[in-house]
Chain A
Amino acid sequence: MTLARHHGGGMILFTFFVALVLTIVPLPDWMRLLRPDWVGLVLIYWCMALPERVGVVSGWLAGLLVDLLTGAVLGQHALALSVVAWLTLRFHQRVRLFPMLQQAATVLVLLILHQLLSLWISRFIGRPGVDWVYWAPSFLGMLIWPLVYSALRGIRRGFLVN
């Protein structure tokens, strides 16, 4: 396993860059609460597709950037996303073979886990509670998972990322 075998790391970084931009891109007020967890989706894909390149530490770093970008307490999304990456790594061989519907359901669970951990932390530091709309982004994330999946698979194959 040498570094020379790796290829297309720039594309992985680029997809994370796009996901981070989508995380803070301005939306109309009614859509702000529905914004899908782009970073979570991209992280889950790469953990599943290239578990030897993207993993817990990548998830943690991406989460730290999300914390900085969204003004959350440092470490909130970092912790949640590293747990998501860990779970994805644990089950990536199984989830990869799932049919799309089942895979989307797994992604829903992972996204909800991200939101749940994040909510616990923000409740712990005294932020107010949330209503049911808070969970909508996870379900939206599940709905767009097939699109994200095929787009990222196109990138992975097109740019020979391995």
Chain B
Amino acid sequence: MRSPCASLIERCPIKLIFTQGPSITTRLTLCIALSVVLMVMDHKYHNLESLRAALSVVIYPLQLTTDLPGTISEWVGESLASRRHLQEENDTLRTQELMQKVQLQRLSALESENMRLRELLDSSFKVGEKVLIAELLSVNLDPYKHQIVINKGKVNDVYPGQPLLDAKGVMGQIVHVGPYTSTAMLITDSSHAIPVQVNRNGLRTIALGTGTINRLELPYIPNNADIRPGDLLVTSGLGGHFPPGYPVAEVTAVRHDPGHTFSQVAAAPLAELNRSREVLLVWPGKITLLEPSDKVIPAEQATGPATAGSQPAARSSSATPVQVDPEDTE
């Protein structure tokens, strides 16, 4: 007969793992070294995008699981909506569409006039832009960073640096692209900057994110510049990332302090940064000039600075028709 002690030992074998393999301190040292290498490569040299993209496939199920309740409740809400509610919504949308069509008629006349005038000025400008509606995955990221995850990725030709809009204005730009999802940085992130101009008088400046969801700062406005609360800020298109002319923010406060070189100007983003669920991905029209399907300008020539109408910053490749150097991101 075996003693109870022996059977206990059999059931809970003495843990031998500490005598096998590297010790935990060695493992820790290795892990720390690996982490440091990863951090340096990711933050300093930005050359881990392919690793991030590959690993984003691993975390995709996690994100989908988290998104599931939202998707289900949306679906249930849609399928259980009453007939009257749907009719009302339909009516509202119809009216809206009619009003927007009227506006569009005026716009198309203006657009063709604008193109004519630009042709007279001999400046190349393409208005046609490709857009795609993406949906936010309802997941929260680091609360101290303003980032969102959308359900479109490399398979939809999303590229790093791509502008992201909603119905009201510019939201941000794509920073990481995975196969099926992408991460975007909002314009209010404290490391984001967007080139803007005042719609009223064309005054150009840069709007910096502050880390607060409803506030942008314009730190480089001289004291004598013509800017007032209520001014609309639109993208200037100077950085080469954002298409020009999209609304970004409205100036909320201007403070002139004679002691400082620059005025203190604050603005509120127009896009519903923390409310929109549907967002718009934009392929700026100017850069579509370099699409391989565009037979007029061969890819090699298009990169040369001598070619008229081409963007020096944009490169062409057969894999992705639209490419912007991610290093340009400020």
Q: Would you give the shortest CB distance from B209 to chain A, in whole angstroms?
A: 11
A24 to B70 CA separation, bound complex (whole angstroms): 13
Instruction: For A128, give its contact among B31, B48, B65, B211 (CB under 8 Å).
Output: B211
Could you tell me if A20 and B62 are in contact, using CB atoms closer than 8 angstroms? yes
Residues of B within 8 A of A24 (CB): 62-63, 66, 139-141
Could you tell me if A86 and B52 are in contact, using CB atoms closer than 8 angstroms? no
Could you tell me if B42 and A51 are in contact, using CB atoms closer than 8 angstroms? no
Query: Which size class do B's interface residues fall under?
Result: 35 or more
A51 to B27 CA separation, bound complex (whole angstroms): 14
Query: What are the interface flags for A58-77 relative to B under an 8 Å C-beta threshold, 1 for contact and 0 otherwise?
Result: 01100111001111111110
Q: Would you give the shortest CB distance from B166 to chain A, in whole angstroms?
A: 18
Which of these binds chain A: B12-20, B91-99, B100-108, B120-128? B12-20
Q: How many residues of A contact B (CB 8 A)?
A: 48
Could you tell me if B42 and A26 are in contact, using CB atoms closer than 8 angstroms? no
Could you tell me if A74 and B48 are in contact, using CB atoms closer than 8 angstroms? yes
Q: Would you give the shortest CB distance from B70 to chain A, in whole angstroms?
A: 7
Which of these binds chain A: B1-9, B143-151, B225-233? B143-151
Q: Which of A60-114 contact B (CB under 8 A)?
A: 60, 63-65, 68-76, 78-79, 82-83, 86, 89-90
A128 to B191 CA separation, bound complex (whole angstroms): 9
Given contacts A68-B55, A73-B39, contact A26 B28 (CB under 8 A): no
Instruction: For A74, give its contact among B15, B16, B38, B144 (CB under 8 Å).
Output: B38
Query: What are the interface flags for A117-138 relative to B under an 8 Å C-beta threshold, 1 for contact and 0 otherwise?
Result: 0000110011110100010000
A66 to B64 CA separation, bound complex (whole angstroms): 15
Instruction: For B145, give its contact among A33, A71, A90 (CB under 8 Å).
Output: A71
Kindly report which residue of chain A lies nearest to residue B65, judged by CB atoms: A21
Given contacts A56-B24, A71-B147, A127-B190, contact A25 B139 (CB under 8 A): yes
Residues of A within 8 A of B70 (CB): 26
Q: Does A57 contact B (CB under 8 A)?
A: yes
Kindly report which residue of chain B lies nearest to residue A162, judged by CB atoms: B12
Query: What are the interface flags for B251-278 relative to A under an 8 Å C-beta threshold, 1 for contact and 0 otherwise?
Result: 0000000000000000000000010000
Q: Does B109 contact A (CB under 8 A)?
A: no
Q: Which of B18-77 contact A (CB under 8 A)?
A: 18, 20, 24-25, 27-28, 31-32, 34-39, 41-43, 48, 51-52, 55-56, 58-59, 62-63, 65-66, 70
Could you tell me if A74 and B51 are in contact, using CB atoms closer than 8 angstroms? yes
Residues of A within 8 A of B24 (CB): 55-56, 86, 89-90
Q: Does B323 contact A (CB under 8 A)?
A: no
Could you tell me if A1 and B20 are in contact, using CB atoms closer than 8 angstroms? yes
Could you tell me if B144 and A122 are in contact, using CB atoms closer than 8 angstroms? yes
Could you tell me if A79 and B35 are in contact, using CB atoms closer than 8 angstroms? yes
Q: Does B142 contact A (CB under 8 A)?
A: yes
Q: Would you give the shortest CB distance from B148 to chain A, in whole angstroms?
A: 9
Besides A24-B140, A71-B176, A126-B191, 12 more A-B contacts (Cβ < 8 Å) are A1-B15, A1-B17, A20-B62, A24-B62, A26-B139, A56-B31, A65-B58, A69-B62, A72-B142, A86-B28, A122-B144, A127-B145
Measured CB to CB, the residues of A under 8 A from B are: 1, 5, 17, 20-21, 24-27, 29, 32-33, 35, 51-52, 55-57, 59-60, 63-65, 68-76, 78-79, 82-83, 86, 89-90, 121-122, 125-128, 130, 134, 162
Q: Please list the 8 inter-chain residue pairs (A to B) with the smallest Cβ-Cβ separation, ordered nearest first.
A: A75-B38, A79-B35, A75-B35, A75-B39, A82-B31, A24-B139, A52-B17, A74-B42
